[in-house]
Structure formats: C-alpha cells, structure tokens
Amino acid sequence: EDNLALVMKIGKERGVAVVVRAENEVEARRLYALGAEYVLVPQLTAGQHLGNLVAALRAGQPVKRHREHDLRHLAHQRI
C-alpha cells in the first residue's frame, strides 16, 4: 500500500520517477499501470541474474568477478 501511495501521489504530483518494489508479478503490473517508472520484483531479478551466470558458465566465461562483487557487498552488511 505504501508503494501505491508513492506512485499515485508523489510520482504524478511532483513529476518524480518513482522506483518501488513488488512482492509478485501481479502487484508489479498494477504499479506499472499506475505509473511507476520501475518496479523491482526480487524473484524476477534473481532469476535473471542466475540465468546470466549460467549462460556465462556454459560459454566458458569465468564468474569470479560476480562472486567477488557479492563478497565485497556481504562484507559491508551488518547482521
């Protein structure tokens, strides 16, 4: 509901590009229909990333840079 309010109020009234997160594809389509500039759907993004990694591995390309990037990111997380 917060995302809906952001898209409907802030984005349209102020001409701001609103980027929001959706829990599923149905919610994402609704947010796009209401005018969201971009909707992040974590499961979709993760699937795309995994597909890119598999394609790189099949092509014989190393994925070491992806691993190192993730490890650097994880090192800065507070748990």
pLDDT tens for residues 51-64?
999 999 999 998 88
Which residue type sits at 69? H
Please compute Rg for the chain using Cα positions: 17
Element of type H or E holding 21: strand 19-21
5-54: pLDDT as tens digits: 788 777 666 677 889 999 999 999 999 998 898 999 999 999 999 999 99
Q: Cα separation of 69 and 65, whole Å?
A: 6
Model pTM above 0.75:
no
Distances (CA, A) of 12 to 7, 33, 46: 7, 13, 29
Taking Cα atoms as reference points, which of 44, 38, 34, 42 lies closest to residue 1?
34
